[in-house]
Amino acid sequence: MSPLLTPRRVVIGANAHADLATALRAARPDLELRGSKFTDVTLDDLIWGDTYLGFKRPLVPTMGNIRWVHSTGAGVDAWFSPHPLPRDIVLTRSSESFGPMIAEWALARALAISQQLLDLALCQQERRWEPRDIAMLRGTKAVVVGTGDVGAHVGRLFAALGCHVLGVSRSGTGDPAVFASVVPVSELSRVVVDAHWLLLMLPLTSATRGLISRNVLAECRGAVLFNAGRGAVVDEAAIPDALAMGWLSGAALDVFETEPLPDASPLWTNPRVIVSPHISGLTTIDGAVAGFVECLTAFERGESPRWIVDRDQQY
C-alpha cells in the first residue's frame, strides 16, 4: 500500500466536529477543514476533501476524492459492512486512548460482582444487615479474547490484582508481560472451561461474527461474560439461556446486536446482567486528534503508520 504523502483537505464527519476542528486546527494549522455531523456530510464535501476523519460512514454512495479515512473509533466494522471501503482508500484507526478506559470499565464490573455491590446497595436501602462471604479477584482466571491494544490494557489491570490472565487471539500471540500464555482461537472452547472472567475485547470482522456461539458458552462453567467489542461477536440470544443453565454466572455488556438495546430484550431485566449503553471506550477529542496526527505525520515522512487497518483481517 502506498502511503498518502500530502493530505491537505480534511472532512470531519462527527457530532463533535466543531471541537475536533478546533483541536486539529491547533495541532495542524496548515490543513483546510470542513466539518459536520456524519449524517450531514455531502458528496460535495467528499469531492472537495482528500481525507475523512470520523467514526461512521457518510450516508452518500461514494467517497468522492477521499484517499484516506481515519476512524476516530477503535472498531472499523462499519467500513467493511455492508460493503467494504474501496481498497485504494487507506484506512487507519487509533485505539490507543480506548484501552485504559475499557480496562477500568471491565475492572469496575468485576469488582462490583465480586464485592456484591449491587446486592449490598439493595440491602442498605432496605436496612438489611446481611453478612456474606466476599470473593477476591486474586487467584481467579481471566480469559481475554483479543490481545491487541485494548485486550492488553484489560489484561494488565486484572493481572495487577493477582488474576491469572490468559489471552486468546487469531495469531496466538500477545504481550508476554501481560498474558501468562496466549492460545489461538481454535482453543477457545478448552480455555473457557475454568475461566472466572471471559472478557471479549475483539473487533467485529467476518471471522469473529458469532465467535462466542451457544456451543462455546455451553463449555463455560460459571464464567462472567464481558463484552466491550461488538454485540454480534456473541450469540446474544443464547446469553439468557447460558445464565439460566449456569454456564455463565453473570454478564457485563456494553455492546449489543441492536443498539439502543430494544425494550423487549430480556437482558434489561435479568438481575445477573449489567447493561451499559456503549460507553466503555469513549472517543475523546484529544485522543482522536492525537491518533490522526500520528498517522498524518507518518504519511508525510513516507512511512506507514502503526495504525493502518489490515484489509484482510479487518482491524
Among residues 57, 153, 156, 230, the one annotated as catalytic is 230
To ligand GLV, the closest distance from the beta carbon of 93 in angstroms equals 8
Q: How far is CA 315 from the centre of its chain?
A: 11
Nearer to ligand GLV, 84 or 184 (CB): 84
Residue 292, burial from CB neighbour count under 10 angstroms (0-12, 13-18, 19+): buried
* In the complex, residue closest to ligand GLV by CB: 73
Told to judge if 196 belongs to the known catalytic residues of this protein, a careful annotator would answer no
Contact call for residues 51 and 7 (beta carbons, < 8 A) = yes
Asked if residue 240 binds ligand GLV (CB under 6 A), the reply is no
Nearer to ligand GLV, 16 or 242 (CB): 16
Q: Which stretch binds ligand GLV (CB under 6 A): 25-33, 36-44, 68-76, 160-168?
A: 68-76
Binding footprint of ligand GLV, residue count (CB under 6 A): 6
Among residues 32, 259, 300, 303, the one annotated as catalytic is 259
To ligand GLV, the closest distance from the beta carbon of 152 in angstroms equals 16
Asked if residue 20 binds ligand GLV (CB under 6 A), the reply is no
Asked if residue 13 binds ligand GLV (CB under 6 A), the reply is no
Q: Which stretch binds ligand GLV (CB under 6 A): 3-11, 69-77, 242-250, 294-302?
A: 69-77
Q: Which stretch binds ligand GLV (CB under 6 A): 71-79, 135-143, 150-158, 186-194?
A: 71-79
Nearer to ligand GLV, 174 or 287 (CB): 287
To ligand GLV, the closest distance from the beta carbon of 116 in angstroms equals 29
To ligand GLV, the closest distance from the beta carbon of 244 in angstroms equals 29
Told to judge if 278 belongs to the known catalytic residues of this protein, a careful annotator would answer yes
Told to judge if 230 belongs to the known catalytic residues of this protein, a careful annotator would answer yes
Contact call for residues 171 and 186 (beta carbons, < 8 A) = no
Nearer to ligand GLV, 63 or 228 (CB): 228
Asked if residue 74 binds ligand GLV (CB under 6 A), the reply is yes
- Enzyme catalytic residues: 230, 259, 278
List of residues contacting ligand GLV (CB under 6 A): 73-75, 98, 281, 283
